[in-house]
Structure 1
Amino acid sequence: MGVQQRISIKSERKIDQIRRSCGILANLMNEAVSKVVPGAIPRDVDRFCHDWITKAGGRPSFLNWHGYPYATCISVNHCIIHGMPDDRLLSRGDIVGLDIGIEYDGAYSDHAVTVPVGEVSVAAQQVLDVTEQSLQEVIKQLVPGMRVSDVGRIVEDVVRPYSYGIIRDYCGHGVGDSVWEPPQIPNYRTRSPGPRFRENMVIAVEPMLSIGSPDVIVGANGWNVETKDKTLGSHVEHTMLITKHGMEVLTRS
C-alpha cells in the first residue's frame, strides 16, 4: 500500500473537483455496465472506457499505475479484483467486476460494481446482493467521529449470516489527491480501532467477498487477485465524502 502518509482533509475547492470527477465516473459506469453482456470481450469494454474517459477530458488513473497496462480492472467469476481485461468471451451466468478510476482536473475518483451476465445462479446473485448490502450499511451508518475499524464491524455484521469469506489481503482507502491515500480501511474487525473519520475526508470503501475461503492468490499475470479455492467473488466500491451529517456518495449515478 505504500508509505503511510498523513490523512488528507479536503478543501472545499478540492471537494468540488473530486465531485466532478466522480460524476463523470458514475456516468461512465452506467455505460460500461450496459456493455457486459453474453459474447462481450473484456478488452473491448476496456477500450470503450479508455476512449470515454479521454473524450470527457479525463485520464484513466489506473493506466500505468505501478505499470498496470489498462484503463480498467475487469474481474470475472473467481477473480476478485485487479483483473486484467482479456479476450475471453463473456458467457451467460458469469459475474463480472468492473473497477474504474478517473483523474479529472487533478482530482481522483474510484468506483466498482460486480454485475451478472444474463441470468446467474441463485448462489451468485446472493453474493452480489450481500456485497452490495454491506456497502450500503456502511453508507447508512458511518458518521464523523467513528473509527476505521467500524467499517469492518459493519461489513462483518452483514456478512456473518451467510458464512462468506471476507477478503483480508486488500482494503479500502482514502482517495482524491491520488489513486490511493491513507487511511487503509479493512473490511473486517481489527484489534486497532484506527484513526477517526473526520468531516471532509474522502474515502473509497470496497467490500470484497467470496462464496468460499477468504484466501486469495495472485494470478500468473501478476495482477489478477483470485480466490484460492476458485469460488465466486464479488467486489463493490464507492467514493464517498464524510460530511457533518454522514456520508455523501459521490459516485452514485
Structure 2
Amino acid sequence: MVIIKAPEEIEKIRTSSRIAAEVLKELESLVEPGIRTMELEQYAEALAARKKVRPAFKGYNGFPFGLCVSVNEEVVHGMPSKRVLREGDIVSLDYGVFCNGYYGDTAITVPVGKISEESSKLLKATREGLYRGIDETKEGNRLGDISAAIQNYVESAGFSVVRDYVGHGIGKSLHEDPQVPNYGIKGRGMLLKKGMVLAIEPMVNAGKFQIKVLKDHWTVVTEDGKNSAHFEHTVAITDKGPEILSYVN
C-alpha cells in the first residue's frame, strides 16, 4: 500500500533527507587515496551523534554499520573495513537518517583521485540517469515513466542498469511501497500522485547488469567484475512537480 504524505510529513522527511545529504557532503570531502573505508564510517557515526540523529541502516535487517561503502565492482551494501582507497578507485556512499519519526535516504559515487575516462563516464551517466528519472516524477505520470527515463539514458550511454535492486517509497519506514525499478516501459505502472515520496536510486554497471552477493550476505558485486556506480535522492511529488528533499548546496 502506497502511503500519501501530508505536507507536514514531507517536511519531516526533508529534514532527515537533508541531514543525510549533509553527512555525505562532508564524507565526500574526506575521500582521497590512503583513507580506509572504516574511517568514513567512523566520521559518519560522529556526525550523526553531533546532529542528534540515528543512522537509518545500522541494525536494519542486521546490517552492522550506519554507512554503506561500495568500492569499484561493489554495487551496493558494501561494508566498511580496513580497506584502503587507492588512486583511480570509485566509491559509492549510501546513507540514511531517522529523525522525528521519519527516514531520509541518499547516495553518491565519488572518484578517488584521478579516475579513468570510462569511470568518469559511468559516474556522469548514473548521475544524469537519476535526474532524468526525477524529471518524470510528477503527478499524472506513471511509475514506468521514471524507470524508462533512467534505463533509456543509461543504455544510450553504453552502460547497464541493475535489475535486482530498485528504488522505493520512504517515510515512517525506510522501505515502503512502491518499488521503483530503474528499468521499465514508459506509460506503464502505477499512477503517480501528489504526496508520494520516493527514493530514486539508479545502480549502473560499466558492463553487464548481472550481479551476485558475496559470502558476507551483504556486499553486492557485478558478476563480470566491472565497476558500478550509485546515486540516489529522496523526492516528493508536489503540485509544482518533483522536489528533491535530499538536496544541499
Query: Considering the TM-score relative to the shorter chain, is it more than 0.5?
Result: yes
Q: Of 129, 142, 149, which aligns to 1:147?
A: 142
Q: Of 61, 66, 69, which aligns to 1:74?
A: 69
- Quick one: structure 1 residues 79 and 198, their matched pair in 2 at CA, closer, same or farther if it must change by over 3 Å? same
Query: What displacement does 1:140 show?
Result: 2.4
Provide the identity percentage: 36
Counterpart check, 1:137 vs 2:138: no
| 1:178-199 superposed Cα distances (whole Å, 9 cap, x missing partner) | 1100100000015992211110
Partner of 1:194: 189
Q: How do residues 79-118 of structure 1 correspond to structure 2 at under 5 angstroms? A: 79-118=74-113
Question: Take 2:74 and 2:53, find their aligned partners in 1: how far apart are those partners?
Answer: 27
Partner of 2:151: 156
Residues 94, 108 of structure 2: 8 Å contact kept: yes
Output the TM-score relative to the length of structure 2. 0.96
Query: What displacement does 1:35 show?
Result: 1.4
Residues 162, 182 of structure 2: 8 Å contact kept: yes
User: What letter matches 1:179 in structure 2?
Assistant: L
Structure 1 portions without partners, runs of 5+: 1-5
Partner of 1:30: 25
Aligned length: 248
| 1:100-147 superposed Cα distances (whole Å, 9 cap, x missing partner) | 000011110000000100110000000000000111112223311111
Q: How do residues 205-224 of structure 1 correspond to structure 2 at under 5 angstroms? A: 205-224=200-219
* Aligned partner of residue 213 in structure 1, secondary structure: coil
User: What letter matches 1:61 in structure 2?
Assistant: A
Residues 56, 66 of structure 2: 8 Å contact kept: yes
* Aligned partner of residue 103 in structure 2, secondary structure: strand
Counterpart check, 1:228 vs 2:223: yes
Question: Take 1:227 and 1:191, find their aligned partners in 2: how far apart are those partners?
Answer: 27
User: What letter matches 2:73 in structure 1?
Assistant: H
Partner of 2:3: 8
Question: Take 2:233 and 2:193, find their aligned partners in 1: how far apart are those partners?
Answer: 18
Question: Take 1:13 and 1:209, find their aligned partners in 2: how far apart are those partners?
Answer: 34
Query: What displacement does 1:63 show?
Result: 0.4
Runs of 4 or more consecutive aligned structure 1 residues displaced over 3 Å after TM superposition: none
User: What letter matches 2:132 in structure 1?
Assistant: E
User: What letter matches 1:82 in structure 2?
Assistant: H
Residues 27, 44 of structure 2: 8 Å contact kept: yes
Structure 2 portions without partners, runs of 5+: none
Partner of 2:234: 239
**More divergent stretch after superposition (96-105 vs 158-167):** 158-167
User: What letter matches 2:100 in structure 1?
Assistant: D
Query: What displacement does 1:250 show?
Result: 0.7
